[in-house]
């Protein structure tokens, strides 16, 4: 089974997707860095908790129907993941969830205002 989690995918495509997912992860992590320690800490919180990164992977797979080498594809995949992470923070606020992905939720740790603004 491929390490990216898709059964029966060609080895060439698997290799391309793995390289692209590494680029996505690197760019994702660079986008959560900044000059304000609290913002960086709250942003890192869920990114570092992991996850399947399904949305960026689907973006990369969809790009195979066009020009998968376009730099904008990696950026689009990162935008999809950042948007998804933001919705998870908001979902946790609405549900008053104490945990997300096995770690303390942002709203439980820093309060609803910080979670929403992150």
| 82 pLDDT above the threshold of 90 | yes
Q: Give the tens place of pLDDT for each residue, 9-37.
A: 899 999 999 999 999 999 999 999 999 99
Q: Give the tens place of pLDDT for each residue, 49-64.
A: 888 999 999 999 999 9
pLDDT of residue 1: 34
Please report the sign of the dihedral spanned by the C-alpha atoms of residue 4, residue 78, residue 97, residue 36: positive
| This prediction's pTM | 0.89
Q: Which residues contact 93 (CB under 8 A, 6 or more apart)?
A: 107, 112, 115, 116
Residue 1 lies in a domain: no
Residue 2 lies in a domain: no
Residues of the chain with pLDDT > 70, as a percent, come to 97
Number of folded domains in the chain? Answer: 1
**Rounded distance, CA 46 to CA 104, Å?**
9
- What pLDDT band is residue 46 in, cutting at 50, 70 and 90? confident
| 3 pLDDT above the threshold of 70 | no
Its domain, for residue 24, covers 11-117
Report yes or no: 14 and 6 within 8 Å, Cβ to Cβ.
Answer: yes
Residue 100 lies in a domain: yes
Report yes or no: 115 and 93 within 8 Å, Cβ to Cβ.
Answer: yes
Whichever domain contains 19, its CATH number is: 1.10.600.10
**Rounded distance, CA 78 to CA 99, Å?**
24
50: buried, middle or exposed (CB in 10 Å: 19+, 13-18, 0-12)?
Answer: exposed
| Inter-helix orientation angle 71-95/37-47, to 10° | 90
């Amino acid at each position: 089974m491929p390490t990216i989690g898709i059964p029966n995918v060609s080895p060439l495509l698997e290799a391309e997707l793995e390289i692209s997912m590494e680029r996505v992860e690197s760019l994702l992590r660079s986008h959560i860095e900044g000059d304000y320690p609290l913002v960086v800490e709250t942003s890192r919180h869920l990114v570092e908790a992991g996850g399947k990164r399904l949305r960026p992977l689907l973006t990369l797979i969809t790009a195979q129907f066009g020009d998968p080498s376009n730099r904008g594809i990696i950026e689009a995949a990162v935008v999809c993941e950042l948007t998804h992470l933001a919705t998870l923070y908001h979902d946790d606020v609405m549900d008053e969830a104490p945990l997300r992905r096995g770690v303390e939720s942002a709203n439980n740790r820093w309060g609803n205002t910080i979670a929403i603004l992150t």
